[in-house]
Structure 1
Amino acid sequence: MACWFRVDRSTITRAINEIRPLLAERGCTISRDVRLRSPAEVVDHLGVTG
């Protein structure tokens, strides 16, 4: 994602860490050990886990 948006990787990590709790409040959780590297992987993962 950092390459797509031309930002440093740490910027993406910080954004994910800020967004994760907001998603969890709404019942959408992704385990920290899951690595989703593309939009297609996100869609696949959400399709499996709801």
Structure 2
Amino acid sequence: MAVYNKLVRDLIPAIIQHQGHSYRSRILDPSEYKEALEKKLQEEIEVD
């Protein structure tokens, strides 16, 4: 199984499951969540 270590948007787990795939997820603690959001923001502002 591939590992992505990404934040997921609403309904993405349901879509994955509906397509017949399995996934694992977990809820981040507040400090991990802040770090993940900062990483995601950095990805979004990088220019291709």
TM range (shorter): 0.3 to 0.5
Q: Which has the higher contact order (CA 8 A, sep 6+)?
A: 2
Which has more helix, going by share of residues? Answer: 1
Q: Which has the larger radius of gyration?
A: 2
TM-score (norm 2): 0.36
TM-score (norm 1): 0.35
